[in-house]
Amino acid sequence: METFPAGTTIVKFGEKAENFYVLEDGYVRLLLNSTCGDKKSTIDVLGPGSAFGEESITTSTLNNFTCVALNDVETRVIPGDVLRRILLEDPALLFRMMGSISLNMHSLMTQIADLKMRSTAERLSMFLIELSGKDEGGDTITLPYDKRIIADKLGMSPETLSRTFAKLKKIGVNTQPGNKVVITNIEELADYCGYSFT
């Protein structure tokens, strides 16, 4: 087990991928360098149970993302060469890992589609429903990381995020101190944004 303090760059874009990481606690931000200028964009935010560093399984791959700890993070660190040997000896584990990578890719493709086809209010609604993990009733959730990161992940500016929260008040979404958000009726919010629980 290895601990990375908040703000630590765990892996850096373009450097040789050496380790595979499984998140035990905390959140990490995956950043991709812009093709124009020095700007970086949040591609995803991963939490406990997630993994990154799949590039390390091959022998000559570089990191596709920069990964930064958003808070104090605990991870299991598996050297790429060790994981390669394990996967060669256990085909069932190899196929499970391939399935996990495929799901991650599908999730990223869905996010890209949402950025192109959904409004800011719909994207924020879906994010809040997924944080809640409930499919009915009301809920009070605590945002797991800073609103600036949420805005970047959802493809909007912090100012737009604030305006979008204000827009969602009409369907029972209210922000409270301490990064808390109260959702009066999750089913109504799901209907609003076209979220499917299946």
Together in a domain, 94 and 147:
no
pLDDT digits (tens, 9 = 90+) for 80-115: 999 888 888 888 887 787 777 777 777 777 767 666
75, 160: one domain: no
The model's pLDDT over 143-153, given as tens digits with 9 standing for 90+, comes to 999 999 999 98
**Domain presence at residue 92:** yes
> If we measure between CA atoms, which residue out of 44, 15, 40 comes closest to residue 105?
44
> What pLDDT sits at residue 60?
67
Q: How confident is the model at residue 184 (pLDDT cuts 50, 70, 90)?
A: very high
Mean of pLDDT values over 121-150: 94
Please tell me the total count of domains within the chain: 2
Average pLDDT over residues 52-59: 85
Q: The domain spanning residue 144 has which CATH number?
A: 1.10.10.10
95 part of a folded domain: yes
Last residue of a domain, one of 99, 116, 133: 116
- Residue 162 confidence (pLDDT): 96
| Residue range 57-81: mean pLDDT, rounded | 90
Q: What is the pTM of this model?
A: 0.77
Residue 79 domain-assigned (yes or no)? yes
* pLDDT, position 91: 81
Average of per-residue pLDDT across 4-8: 97
**Among 50, 184, 52, CA closest to 128:** 184
Q: Please identify, among 116, 141, 172, the residue that sits at the C-terminal boundary of a domain.
A: 116
Q: Does one domain contain both 80 and 50? A: yes
pLDDT of residue 34: 63
Which residue among 92, 116, 140 closes a domain? 116
Q: Is residue 198 part of a domain?
A: no
The pair of structure tokens assigned to 47 is: 């939490």
Return the exposure string of 39-67: e unless at least 16 CB atoms fall within 10 Å of the residue's CB, then b. Answer: ebebbbbbeeebbbbbbbbeeeeebbbbb
How far is residue 176's CA from residue 61's CA, in Å, rounded to a whole number? Answer: 44
* Rounded distance between C-alpha atoms, residue 57 and residue 4, angstroms: 22
Pair 17, 75 in one domain: yes
**Residue 56: partners with Cβ closer than 8 Å, 6 or more residues away:** 17, 18, 19, 20, 79, 80, 83
Mean predicted confidence (pLDDT) in 191-197 = 89
Give 1 or 91, the one with higher predicted confidence. Answer: 1
Q: Is the Cβ–Cβ distance between 76 and 1 less than 8 Å?
A: yes
Q: Residue 152's domain spans which residues?
A: 119-193
In terms of domains, do 174 and 82 share one? no
